[in-house]
Chains A and B, each alone.
Chain A
């Protein structure tokens, strides 16, 4: 079975290559080819999963070595794959949700003239994401890491004729590149410390070096994770990334790619376990981001951007859990999977709403849509209940565990702080999601004819779109409960990630009860503000915090003033310096070798004869030099 691992990647990669090189001939069938190959990969994944279940626990890590990639001295990088329980979980999520979103896109992108390219990019994304999670060393992981970044770039900017889309795509790539510095330095540190950057080798050698090195590696990995997973301070790209078509937001910017940072940290668990300072940094980043994203999510009127804030916040939970060490790894991944279901479902629901509303994204122009799109309403509603952690649904099982683990950070003040933040986040989540739900599906209809007189006629989306939504809704409802039966999910991952039972500072029933209370509080507040009162079509001015949150808590303003403006001034002055100073000084110095500077300036006005003169001069020097040599 090992030999099938590469096929997981090969199928979508083939799809991308065929669709991109095939040209217009494939325009009519491109989406079918792309979807078929996504399903092929999913089929292989299921086959491998069944095979893995049949093996004993110790025997579940499969390896496939393809060939030696970069061999230079002690630096040995291989194209080799590793499929263990952690990778398998991701593979199933990626290919499963990925295939569903391919199906959804067949409906969503039906009238787009560049549909073939869209499916090519989706296939490319699947291939890269699979490389990321089944690579057996950090350098190959880097290839997948950057490959998903490329796919994300291409898909955010899919409607490139819109300057906003092109800018958002570039921004996402650039911010991720800052994170890549972290990944690069981490790999270089591993090489100089351990002599290897393969997962197995690093794992074995971790104990042989000091905590300082491990902390440095851990912090660099965290920087990488911040970029890819949109964590503070590298979170600013995710909101803009919503410029991409909605299936992309569901697959890449909610369910899979943005969770790669969580994978990276969990995969590097042995390093973090031995570097408590780095772990603390991870927890802090997660805690800050989970509040940051939640606050931003409360203020956005654009349905996708509200969901993007939510994604950021939920990944904050996962990162926080990953920073907690063996008490949190399994729950981080479990929340990642359940989030993959419900957040993908929510995004697809949002896409379905936009599909019926002439691509309107402003929730203030929705209202009362439950009557017009019942399937979307029900599936979105189930996703909503799941994400706020309604007891019994998926989010309840996975998020509650993270809150418990956060309270178990230590016996003292930090346990209280991190636990409190996680709990507070749950309340805000309930608030902003209830707000989205009410503004979209309840109340009066608020849409108007646009300038051209076209009034939206909301309608339910076609089957190709609703079926994936229904499947994901099932996952949103049942996955968490299934995973928690007998701690099945934790036991499945334990051989890879280890697992220690958390011992929170307050009792588990008390935590569960408080979670339900803050949930009701958040949802109730949102109901009071948006359900009881009519929603104004033009947003009210709002408090200082609301206004800041609408602007992503001013991070873009900071970036613009410091990085963009500052950078522009720097490059502009450097262009001046290069032209007048460096060039001038070097030319001037050269004047010492025979008035070159003056001659250069004179020659600027030269014509054909100047060539002849200077050429003659050059040749003369050459000949003179040669003769001189002979004479010596």
Chain B
């Protein structure tokens, strides 16, 4: 038996979480370094997985689809197995997660420091426990579970992780704020608490419905293993009544749509991202939410191909609403972080539209979109976090003229904004255009309506930039320091990646394309031929 590389990759952050939590209370800095080191080690492990993975391996049987596979009996009397494996889509998202967490850790370096002003007893974050250790341990915990969920090929294992990651996320949202509440710490704590509970309940409800569907799937198929189900289907031994398939599909899809989030199940996200600290907000939207869209690709389409097709019109309509509605709401926000949250809702609309367009451009584009959105949102949100920490306010109206006093901060914020509006030359353009063209090829009207997002995206990002960064320098902004070395170390690599993947996205598309072709063959779809070819 070979070395369990995938387990090791997921275990590294989990071990890191325990190690970080175990650091004595007084040695906060050591805990931070511990967390950073483990997140970097995870990145190395993830890169090994990505490079060991052979995207062009010929798939002869369903078992070949997932590489570096591991399989052990877990809950034997119920057929639940600990089964891992990685395909191109999973590899891309594994890479994204492992890449972003070190930046999240570094960006949140001081977010969980206890306050030194003697009033620490009032602070929720500095109550009875060790907030710094806890903060970083929770981040690593989330990373471990997210990574494992990208690797799980057993439906039940995936479900457990899908639900379990809510727990550390809940504490991260509810326990740590950015001390920028407009009405004092007490009010802020209430808001945080509301946001955390809303996050938890929305996702728990989604999860419960999914649980019912998971059980239903077992009743129908007698197994939780993706591979076994695919083998049974290939051999013609896997029959599902049309209605059963549709119900099960809806059960899965609902949970993923809450997490993604898709309109109208999106309202928890602005609360959560608004109240959480910027690094945690990045963790939510750039990492955890991706499990939702990833799961649509892996579970909804693979397990329920016919039902997926049946539901496509409605899902495309909801995705379109998300795109336009999210962007319009972003325009109307007064709070920087909520604005970015609504922008994310718009972007998730694009991702879901790409998935259900059922074309190779749409789905490769959607996967690439997940990666690029992760990087661009991280860049924008983390710089926004640095900004908010300096001024102690999330309100756009409290800023103005920042570029005059902090040109590097303003410059990086602008690059993040340009990435968010999908400027050609930066990574998100590639994925957004692929999604658009992939959708247009099958559903021209949907594709054309979605192009409205091109204008609205520019509107909310540039309005945000204009109001915060340009104009006369506001009073409280005057003494604002520019980015520090640590902060620059967070932002500069992200920007470099945005440019690199904008010019040369081929490494990611090469990784993803074969897996997408597999998914398309699951749903028995082929790309529409160009008119000129079709005529011949």
Contact = CB atoms under 8 A, between A and B. Distances in A.
Interface of A: 20, 67-75, 79, 139, 142-143, 145-147, 150, 157, 160-163, 165-167, 170, 173-174, 177-178, 180-181, 184-185, 187-188, 191-196, 205, 208-209, 213, 567, 570-572, 574-575, 578, 582-583, 585-587, 590, 593, 596, 599-600, 603-608, 610-611, 614-615, 618-619, 621-622, 625-626, 629-630, 632
Contacts of A69: 503-506
Nearest to B456: A177
24 contacts: A70-B505, A70-B506, A71-B509, A72-B365, A73-B364, A143-B424, A147-B425, A174-B455, A177-B454, A181-B454, A187-B433, A191-B440, A192-B440, A195-B530, A208-B535, A213-B531, A578-B267, A590-B202, A596-B205, A599-B197, A611-B175, A611-B193, A618-B166, A618-B200
B528 interface: yes
A599 B364 CA distance: 41
B44 interface: no
A600 B329 contact: no
Given A145-B424, A181-B451, A593-B205, A614 B197 contact: yes
B59 to A, nearest CB: 17
Given A73-B359, A593-B205, A177 B424 contact: no
Interface string B58-78: 000000000000000001011
A178 B532 contact: no
A222 to B, nearest CB: 16
Contacts of A194: 530-532
A191 B528 CA distance: 11
A208 B532 contact: yes
- Leading 5 A-B pairs by shortest Cβ distance: A195-B530, A571-B332, A73-B360, A166-B470, A160-B470
A326 B119 CA distance: 79
Contacts of A165: 470
B266 to A, nearest CB: 8
Contact of B201 (A181, A596, A630): A596
Interface stretch (B33-41, B245-253, B459-467): B459-467
B344 interface: no
Given A157-B470, A604-B193, A608-B127, A72 B509 contact: yes
A615 B200 CA distance: 9
Contacts of B438: 75
A567 B194 contact: no
A593 B171 CA distance: 23
A607 B189 contact: yes
Nearest to B166: A618
Nearest to A72: B364
Nearest to B156: A629
Interface of B: 75, 77-78, 124, 127, 156, 160, 163-164, 166-167, 170-171, 174-175, 189-190, 193-194, 196-198, 200-202, 204-205, 208, 211, 215, 263-265, 267, 325, 328-329, 331-333, 359-361, 364-365, 401, 403-404, 411, 418, 423-425, 429-430, 433-434, 436-438, 440-441, 444, 447-448, 451-452, 454-455, 458-459, 462-463, 466, 469-473, 503-506, 509-510, 513, 527-533, 535
A584 B148 CA distance: 34
Contacts, number: 228
Given A75-B434, A166-B470, A208-B535, A178 B190 contact: no
Contact of B471 (A68, A143, A163, A587): A163
Nearest to B338: A575
B437 A187 contact: yes
A145 B429 CA distance: 13
A195 B441 CA distance: 10
A70 B430 contact: yes
A324 to B, nearest CB: 28
A181 B457 CA distance: 12
Nearest to B365: A72
Contacts of A600: 194, 197-198, 201
A139 B267 CA distance: 36
Contacts of B533: 195
Contacts of B455: 174, 177-178, 180-181
Contacts of A625: 208, 211
Contacts of A587: 267
Contacts of B462: 170, 173-174
Contacts of A166: 466, 470-471
A132 to B, nearest CB: 11
A164 to B, nearest CB: 10
Contact of B170 (A599, A603, A618, A626): A618
A163 B470 contact: yes
Contact of A574 (B332, B434, B472): B332
A41 to B, nearest CB: 18
A575 B334 CA distance: 10
B163 A192 contact: no
A72 B418 CA distance: 24
Nearest to B360: A73
Contacts of B127: 608
Contact of A188 (B198, B205, B436): B436
Contact of B531 (A74, A145, A192, A575): A192
A419 B510 CA distance: 55
A71 B215 CA distance: 40
A68 B504 CA distance: 8
Which of A160, A163, A173, A590 has the most chain B CB within a 10 Å cutoff?
A160
Contacts of B208: 593, 621, 625
Contacts of A150: 418, 423
A71 B504 CA distance: 10
A70 B434 contact: yes
B423 A604 contact: no
B471 A161 contact: yes
Nearest to B520: A73
Contacts of A606: 190, 193-194, 197
A209 B436 CA distance: 22
B200 A614 contact: yes
A621 B210 CA distance: 14
A600 B205 CA distance: 13
Given A192-B440, A570-B328, A622-B163, A586 B264 contact: yes
Contacts of B441: 188, 191-192
Contacts of B529: 195
Nearest to B345: A578
Contacts of A143: 424-425, 429
A582 B504 contact: no
B167 A619 contact: yes
A629 B215 contact: yes
